[in-house]
Structure 1
């Protein structure tokens, strides 16, 4: 026959197991955690920063949780208990140094690591490379992503392609409610906001198709606002650009206005787009807050038209 203590232990174990299962289910641990599978230098540094921060926090959290369980079990009320009763005990210098000193040291270490990581991972900072970066202009629409290649003169919807080992300068804005541009395996997200031109530098270190999505709730069809980021060889990229130029229609200004209407979209390609379309989208909301793309740059492009 089981004792009351056995029942309590069984309930405690069942509750702990349920919490662990819920934690795994809600954090996606049962699926492929692509954030921890980086394919570019920025994502690698961000993963390392997350792991280091988690380990440093665990240095405090894990012992506290273990000690909590040990103390609850060790000092539980039971028959025959003969522990000393010290109602006036209230201070121990040694213990105070331990449980205040260790967390303070860890917080300082976390602060130093975070500051260094924040500076190193500043999204508008160009990546160090001997290869010329490729510029891709990104516009968040309801509920789709428009990618423009100003150097190649082509555009695409819900699909972006670029060469591996080539730095990418994403210039990001929105012609819709604020969203967040995110390719988890290449780097952290960057907000896309109307009237603003944000800059994000990323790079893919190997070929592959990576998931990209909007990371902000933007209305009815926001769940369909995902895209494929395809890293290929330089030859495959050049061939794709050539195919788009020869087999796809051009995006006109009227076509863009139609595209910007709230609706989900399949993958689409365009052999050309109106010159200065990205800059017109930024300036039409008359904002003076640009990050990485100055008004001087925008006005210069418009004057060249």
Structure 2
């Protein structure tokens, strides 16, 4: 089938593309700036084409997407100096709908965040709003929701990895004891490819979670154990969010505003509670430890602040 892959040069987009090619699909990679695409032979594959399209602008879509069957919506704006990322994400969603409304699209697949709590962070509230916008069209939408995706390169996971690689002692806020349900990158790709034109998933939402629910503190500790490090994590009642974000941005080389919004979400319980297709897709949820073993290979290049990724 013919697939439009938005956010093709983002973390998930770059991991999803090889899986789609392997299944024989024709993929149109949509990026905001072609010059920022990583140099890779995969973009010159016979079943891959690349288009430059900025969904923050109201543009006329190229003819090459007229006959698409499915579109993956992997766009977000929570990077750089995006203080007003909610407005940017809302605008991109409306422009996306305007573009695909002129095509033969049969399904939109949206990757969002788990939003089961009443009090959500700005980050999670924006993801929920984008889902509402996408569902306002006549095109069937399938939403997959995740908390932390375990894989080197995932923004949330990189914070955990970088802190444990660099710091022997961490003094953190009490909300490190918040429960979460991290999901392996491997499982996420299985879901994203498994629901393609699966009609029973149309206009439905599914939470993706790993095998177990653990706290953020346990995630830090288990990563340290996995690497064979002795690390000490001390929690205190309260640390102002801006200070915590500044600390994280300094020691992980993450953008300050990105760090601020990501760690704000750590105060929210993120646990999956709605998944009726896991067994139908034959997905075996990996535990956090299994995800580390499968998704984070070594050696780690500390000079580039990266670790190799394996499957």
Larger Rg: 1
The TM-score with structure 1 as length reference comes to: 0.25
The TM-score with structure 2 as length reference comes to: 0.24
